[in-house]
Structure 1
Amino acid sequence: MTTKQSGIYFPAGVVEEFLPRIGRVVEINDHQLAVFRASDGTIFAADNHTPHPKGGPLAEGIVSGHYLYDPLYDWKIDLTTGLVQAPDNGQVQMYPVKVENGQVWIEI
């Protein structure tokens, strides 16, 4: 049996620094992340790189519900799984997020 080794959680800022539905770039240990706060307050962290073959940033995308609309290619990405929705395909690396006492922590 194999088990996934947990990463370490790093502070990314306080909740109020993440505006609803708008992405923000956070750098942690040479990882450039796009962090989003959904309208319901859920916070998501993803690689700040679209899975589209031509590449580009994700942090400039717009969040609707728990979906992100890629700013360059209008791909719809499920922020709970990182999966690009049909008819397109691909996946974004997502990172676990927790909030404690108003502080946002991201696991790398």
Structure 2
Amino acid sequence: MDLRPCECGGSGFARDSAVVVLPDGGMATRYTGACDRCGRPREFLFRLPDEVAMPPADDRISYGGDEPSHLLDPGEWLWVADAYAASAPADPATADPEQRRRITPN
């Protein structure tokens, strides 16, 4: 949602969420709120998959399935990955224990 700024250029907004039924009978998660910068209403609707995927048994974080993303294009995924990578220390040995827990695979 932060990658899709408001008309005024602001990206932040306090988000309320709800699961809603779509006209075709599918389900979606709807996020709504007012732009932090200008107050315009913002809404994002994300269709939920027909089948819920269970998380991996080993507690790894995973995103989506085998099909291409409907939310982000490959360039946006790269931008997000770069932003997260830049927030981690280059050498995990210099990280504090909480940072190390977040950046080190299980």
When normalised by structure 2's length, the TM-score is 0.26
Structure holding more strand per residue: 1
Structure holding more helix per residue: 2
Greater RCO, CA 8 A, separation 6+: 1
